[in-house]
Amino acid sequence: MEQRTYNQYCATARTLDIIGERWTLLLIRELLTGPKRFGDLQASLRGLGTGLLAARLKHLEREGLAHKVTLPPPARAAAYALTEAGEELGPAVLALARWGMTWALGEPREGETFHPGWAVLGLEACFVPDASAGLHSVYEFRVGDEMFHALVDDGQVRMVHGPAQRPDASIAMSEDALIAMAAGRSSLGAAIEDGSASVSGDAEAVRRLGGLFRLPVPKTRKVEQASG
């Protein structure tokens, strides 16, 4: 199939020629948190058929955004990882996530799927660098059966799928609690109070957790009509 193009000599148009097809940017979102096997991507992107997933991955390889790798032991499995060019799309994806939490997310719609792992980049998009000044801590999050962790290092954060080896603090919550936070109906503090979330670990790491991730206040895109 011939790749569609805007036929414009414009950096934005050229970028959209490469990543503007359906599912492509979501594949990059998945790979931003580390290499993934074909089956991992298929499980996370429900609704994306096997054939189309293979085609999109070949497209990313052809465009120099992803490449095949072998996972280290004990997995030793074939996987896909982003190239340098693919990694540099990270800030753009995070900006889209921040915009989405402010202007587009709202409440879940009927029929929409939810995967707790999608919160990984959402949390990174909400990270407050100034709040982590002088802090060097590892935070492990468990949402249902999903685990991921945040490596906080003096103004920087790196989000990684999977459990942490030696977390300084551990946060556990239900999927419903996470959805309520994402929709702007709750906060981590409120979830801890009502028992839908719990935090344990080093006292200093726990104390500073509340300021590290600040979810944007949801807003409406509808324009108020002027009266008069």
Domains of the chain are 11-84 (1.10.10.10), 116-212 (3.30.1050.10)
Report residue 3's pLDDT band, with 50, 70 and 90 as the boundaries. Answer: confident
Closest CA to 197 of 139, 146, 149, 143: 143
Identity at 221, one-letter amino acid code? R
User: Average per-residue pLDDT in the chain?
Assistant: 91
Contact 211, 131 (CB under 8 A): yes
Residue 170, strand partner residues: 140, 200
Q: Output the DSSP codes for 121-159.
A: HHHHHTB-GGGGTT-EEEEEEEETTEEEEEEEETTEEEE
Q: Which two tokens stand for residue 115?
A: 């995967």
Q: What is the mean pLDDT of residues 131-157?
A: 94
Q: What is the pLDDT of residue 2?
A: 61
Cα–Cα distance for residue pair 50/24, rounded to 1 Å:
14
Closest CA to 92 of 119, 57, 125: 125
| pLDDT 10s digits, 47-95 | 899 999 999 999 999 999 999 999 988 878 999 999 999 999 999 999 9
Contact 78, 39 (CB under 8 A): no
The pTM for the full model equals 0.87
Residue 159: exposed, middle, or buried by beta-carbon count in 10 A (0-12, 13-18, 19+)? buried
Q: What percent of the chain has pLDDT over 70?
A: 97
Give yes or no for residue 1 having a pLDDT over 60: no
Sign of CA dihedral 16, 127, 111, 161: positive
Cα–Cα distance for residue pair 110/123, rounded to 1 Å:
24
Contact 26, 52 (CB under 8 A): no
Q: Output the DSSP codes for 153-187.
A: ETTEEEEEES--SS-SEEEEE-HHHHHHHHTTS--
Q: Give φ, ψ of 139 to 5 degrees.
A: -110, 125
45 DSSP assignment: S
Contact 167, 90 (CB under 8 A): no
